Each structure stands twice: as structure tokens, then as C-alpha cells.
Amino acid sequence: MVFSGEVIKDASMDPYFKIEFRYESESAVIRKGYAEVVRKAPRPVVTFDAAIDSRLGNEDRAKLELELLNIVIDYILSNGVRRSWKGNIILRTA
């Protein structure tokens, strides 16, 4: 199995990540693919383009999902993350 991937920084903000990857195994070859990873409880959600999804078997999909999640965790731990903020900000003036 050959895998390489990178988080697309301009299109990613915690908990949403877009990843460009390359994956080769005995049964599937994806030279350039994109996936979206959403970190939400109880389990992260990984989505692929329909063309990629149809070429992956269950075993290849599981391996690829684990590698993509590993890329996200490495990105979070090494670079820090921009967090999206959903809430109210109250500014007080004197």
C-alpha cells in the first residue's frame, strides 16, 4: 500500500478538513483524490467523491479512512488549528 496526503489549509477549519491524497493498493489506484473529514462525536465522518467511492472496497475504504484521520491528527498536533466560532460575542464599552 502506498499513501500520501496533505490537509488543504485554505479549505480547512476545525472540525472540517479537506485532504488531497494519493492511494495505491493491489485492488485500487487513486492518483489524485479529495476527501472531506468532519470531526464530530461519536465518530468522525469521511466522505469521498462518488467516482472514488465506487472504486473502493470495504478493506481499502477502512485503510484509507484510518490514514486520512491520521493526517488530520498530525495536522492538529503540529500546526495548531483555526477553530470556527459559533456563538455570540458581547462587546462592552465604558
Is a pLDDT exceeding 60 seen at residue 24?
A: yes
Is a pLDDT exceeding 90 seen at residue 8?
A: yes
- Model confidence over 35-46: pLDDT tens digits? 999 998 889 999
Question: Quick one: pLDDT at residue 82?
Answer: 56
* Residues comprising the chain, all counted: 94
Name which of 47, 42, 60 is nearest 16 in CA terms: 47
- Model confidence over 27-70: pLDDT tens digits? 999 999 999 999 988 899 999 988 898 889 999 999 999 999 99
Question: Quick one: pLDDT at residue 89?
Answer: 46
Q: Produce one character per residue of 36-59: b if its CB has 16 or more CB atoms within 10 Å, e if not.
A: bbebeeeebebebeeebeeebeee
